[in-house]
Amino acid sequence: MRVTTETERIAVLTLSSEIVRAAGAFLRDEGFLEILPVLLSPITDPLHHETYAGSVDFYGAPYQLMKSMIFHKQIALRTVPRIFCFSPNVRMEPPERAALGRYLAEFVQLDLEVRDASRDDVLALGEGLVVAVLKAVGERCPDELARLGRNLKIPSAPFVRIRYADAADRFGEPFDDALSASIDAPVWVIDFPRRVREFYDREDPGRPDVLLDMDLIYPEGYGEALSGGEREHELPRILDRLRRDGIPRERVSAYLTYVEKGVPRSAGFGIGVERLTRYVAGLDRIEDARLFPKIPGDTRAI
């Protein structure tokens, strides 16, 4: 549906607020510490797809608006073992992506990272988080869901897992839309090939070019919910990945100085808050999931 009335808008905002509350409560119960977001840094996620860089003149130095806090999460784990953050990201996505209804140029991801965790650990955590949020919304916001005509199903864990190669065989590439439209509960895609992901996703030591990572795909055609995985954390492996992925090490030199000092083994993920709100509320377009949306390419937004 599209949001057209103030009552519908209030219902969506109430759902979004409950999502943020329930997710934070779940993670605190799981022993996580919430850290405050970083907005500007000399280092941010290089991402695997092209976005226009948001650069700021920071006392004469080129700082970037955060595309994700991936490096800061890893560095934060030197201090605390389980962290999460509601992290605003600016990704000036290509304008043609606006038509897909699931991209904003400014969005918030709930970004988390766990020291000494494996992918299986964070898959279970992701399932617990999604189920807890959907249950909380169902219990605490039934009137808002009814106002939006949304009949939200609560999935049960564990969610089905599909290997990337199998999904690609079945649906072709890219397969997110077709896979998402074919399922009625969230599904994990695991084992992405190195060529489609960032250098910090850990390569399986036993299977070259296969990564120990994952995406969660929403049902009903809503597409990707979250991305994450185990991380590369040892300097020689990171340098090797940078070289093989064609990323100049100067681009992440501030991060490498921390890796030299030691960042712990970890796994984690980031889940987009507006995409989760869109799914929970059953919205056609992501710009209806928040106030002040920045649609890629549209410079009228405030």
* Shortest Å, Cβ 109 to Mg ion: 10
Whether the link from the prior residue into 158 is cis, omega within 30° of 0, is yes
Residue type at 157?
A: A
Footprint (CB under 6 A) of ligand AMP, residues 97-136: 103-104, 107, 109
Q: Which is nearer to ligand AMP, 54 or 272 (CB)?
A: 272
Q: Give yes or no for a contact between 67 and 91, defined as CB atoms under 8 angstroms apart.
A: yes
* Shortest Å, Cβ 288 to ligand AMP: 13
**Which of Mg ion, ligand AMP, none lies near 259, with the C-beta cut-off 5 to 8 A by kind?**
none
227 contacts Mg ion (rule: CB under 5 A): yes
DSSP character for 147? H
Q: Give yes or no for a contact between 286 and 272, defined as CB atoms under 8 angstroms apart.
A: no
Q: In what order do the strands lie in the sheet with 40-41?
A: 40-41, 61-65, 55-58
Window 246-285: contact mask with Mg ion (x via CB under 5 A): ----------------------------------------
Q: Which of 8, 191, 274, 288 binds ligand AMP (CB under 6 A)?
A: 274
Q: Which of 46, 126, 186, 272 binds ligand AMP (CB under 6 A)?
A: 272
224 contacts ligand AMP (rule: CB under 6 A): yes
User: Segment near ligand AMP (CB under 6 A), from 12-20, 152-160, 168-176, 265-273?
Assistant: 265-273
Q: Smallest Cα–Cα separation from 113: which of 92, 141, 85? A: 85
Q: Give yes or no for a contact between 269 and 122, defined as CB atoms under 8 angstroms apart.
A: yes
With H, G, I as helix, E, B as strand and everything else as coil, classify residue 276. Answer: helix
3-state helix vs strand vs coil in the chain, percent to 5: 40, 25, 35
| Binding residues with ligand AMP: total (CB under 6 A) | 16
Both tokens of residue 27?
A: 């993670």
Query: Which parts of this chain interact with ligand AMP (CB under 6 A)?
Result: 68, 91, 93, 103-104, 107, 109, 224-227, 270-272, 274-275
